[in-house]
Structures are given as structure tokens and as C-alpha cells.
Amino acid sequence: MLLTLRYLIEYAFVRGLWAVLRIVPAQRSYDMGAAIGSLWFLVSRRRRNTAIDNLLKTGVATSPQEARRMARGSFRHFTGHLLETIKAPDVITRANWREHVEIEASDEVLALLLTPDRPVLVATAHLGCWEIAGFWASLFRPVFGLARPMNNPYVQRFMTQDHFRTDLTVLPKSQGFSPEMLRSWEERKAALAIVMDQHAGRNGYWMDFLGRPASVHSSPARLHLITGFPLLFGCFVRTGPLRYRMIVTQPIFRASAAGDREDDAQVIVEDLTRRLEVLIRRYPEQYLWMHRRWRTPPVADGSASRPYLPKHA
């Protein structure tokens, strides 16, 4: 009963916020969300302490004062970009996107992203404006994105009905990579986006991530090795009101068929992790520091499905 009441209160807040956003100018939506993020930073002690601790233990922040400043910036960016995401489709179109998005990628990468003549796999992270990245890519080709459904069923249903008005399909992460999804991905020559930086548990590769052990998802590497579709890594960072920089590194193509698939997957995951580290250090306040990304690796007693792998092992 109490949980249902909480869900209803959250739903009422989201509907009210949505109604206000309809009359707020798109250029001010990020500021409105950032103000909410500042309040969240003050009242959520647990999340605040997690973010500050992560920044200090990874060495991205060199002092408690800097860690607090970066953590507050991360909270503000997270909520700010979510509200700006809602307004972006009203402003950014296929005709005018170059007025809002600058490209930091090779011509080869841009062709893979924007030309829907073959499926492509995109690994990304909770860095920058990942929601707007999906919307932008869907202006040019079908996009599939994996996401965990929200705990609140009322908010989940509302957000699903009022999502982006383009060819963007959000797939429940719990359903995994079903044969039907993989077949649709190939037939529609879609871009499949996977956010790879959350804790992967016992089934992930344990390796150094920003100097600390972390379990990293192997699904981008495994899907690439199984399908042979090009694998890209990048992010979509914010540079100003409704202005962004799309950063995508050079593509990864299928490893040698003579190689060991497990070893190949490990090498690819390590490569993707190092690429992510570079971008996080470049834009630390646009990373999602408040989640429990780093945890204790399993003991090396044979109970773990994959052991901890030190950097460059």
C-alpha cells in the first residue's frame, strides 16, 4: 500500500513537471533540471556520498572540495539533460541538426552511423547526453536501445507513450537478446545501442576501470564477434543549451576467426573500457558518479565465473 502511494506521488510529480515543461522555453529546460539536481544533491545524502567517494577513489578528483564540486555538477547535469531531452525533439530536426551537433569522428564512422545500409553496434556509457544521442541517431536510421524498465509502473507507462517521435525503440533489458530482436536488428539495418558502464555482476569481466576493480559488461564484444557487425564506441556530450558534440572513436571490426572468442571478447572489452576512461576524464562532470559502479571483486577460489583482470593483463 505504501509503495503504491509512493508510486502515485512520483507519477503526479512527473505529470506536473511535464505540464510545466510544455510551457518552458526549450533553451531554459536544462537550467530548470539543473536546479532540481542541486536540490537532489543536498537532500540525497547516500547518493551524494557515493558520488564524492567514487570521484576521490578513482583519482578523478584530487581533493574533497573538488570531488564535492564535481559531484554536484554531475547531479545537475543528470537532471538537466533529462529535461532538455524532453524538449530536444521540438527543436532538433534532420534538416537543422548541424546547427546543434558538432562531430568529432572520422568520415568512416559518420558513414557507418548515418547510412543505414548495414546493422551497426554502438557501445556507450552514462556520459554526456545518452538519451539525446539516441534521438539524434534515430533521425537517420532505426535505433534500438536496451534499458531497464523503471520501478514505477505508472511513470514507465507514461514515458513509453510520450517518448521520442522518431524511429527509436527501447527494449527491456530483462528480455535479453532474443532471436526475434536480433533478427529485427539485422532486417531493419538498425543501430543497436548498449550502455556498457553499469555493474555487470558475476557474469562481467572484472578489470581495472579508472584504477579500481569493476565488473564490465561483455555483451558489446560478444555481439560483435557473433554477428560481425561494426562496433563503435562514443558519447554525446553537452557543450551549451541544445548544443552537443558527438564523439565516436574508430570502429572495431570482427577479430580473426582463428582467434579464441573468449580472449577476443576480453581484449575488446578492455579496449572499450580504456576509451571510456579517456572521455570520462575529459568530461568528469557529465558522468553519472552517483551509482555504485565499483564493488568488491570475487575471491580467486574458483567460485567466480571470471577472475579479476588487472589493467593490461
- Concatenated DSSP letters for 172-214? EGGG-S-HHHHHHHHHTT-EEEEE--S--GGGSEEEEETTEEE
- Give a yes or no: residue 237 inside a domain: yes
Would you state the cell numbers that stand for residue 31, as one nine-digit string?
A: 537550467
Indicate the DSSP class of residue 142: -
- Give a yes or no: residue 94 inside a domain: yes
Residue 312 has pLDDT above 50, yes or no: no
When divided into structural domains, the chain yields a total of 1
- Give a yes or no: residue 303 inside a domain: no
Residue 123 has pLDDT above 90, yes or no: yes
Nearest one of 83, 102, 103, 99 to 91, comparing CA atoms:
99
More confident: 25 or 308? 25
pLDDT band at 303 (very low <50, low <70, confident <90, very high): very low
**What does the pLDDT look like over 26-38, one tens digit per residue?**
999 999 999 999 9
Taking CA atoms, 277 is separated from 81, 196, 197, 268, in Å, by 21, 12, 11, 14
What does DSSP say about strands 143-147 and 168-172: parallel, antiparallel, or unpaired? Answer: parallel
Question: What's the pLDDT score for residue 174?
Answer: 65
Question: What's the pLDDT score for residue 309?
Answer: 57
Residue 242 has pLDDT above 60, yes or no: yes
Mean pLDDT of the chain: 88
Most confident of 52-66, 218-232, 257-271: 52-66
**What does the pLDDT look like over 183-225, one tens digit per residue?**
889 999 999 999 999 999 888 999 999 999 999 999 999 999 9
Indicate the DSSP class of residue 105: S
- Give a yes or no: residue 63 inside a domain: yes
Question: What's the pLDDT score for residue 130?
Answer: 92
pLDDT band at 128 (very low <50, low <70, confident <90, very high): very high
Residue 96 has pLDDT above 60, yes or no: yes
| Phi, psi angle pair for 8, to nearest 5° | -65, -40
Indicate the DSSP class of residue 296: P
Q: pTM, whole model, 2 decimals?
A: 0.89
Percent of the chain with pLDDT strictly greater than 90: 63
Question: What's the pLDDT score for residue 232?
Answer: 96
**What does the pLDDT look like over 146-168, one tens digit per residue?**
776 667 787 777 766 655 556 78
- Give a yes or no: residue 98 inside a domain: yes
**What does the pLDDT look like over 9-27, one tens digit per residue?**
888 887 887 788 788 899 9
Residue 306 has pLDDT above 70, yes or no: no
- Give a yes or no: residue 306 inside a domain: no
- Give a yes or no: residue 173 inside a domain: yes
Residues of the domain holding 256: 2-294
Q: Look at 96-105, 138-147, 225-234 and tell me which has the smallest mean pLDDT.
A: 138-147
Residue 304 has pLDDT above 50, yes or no: no
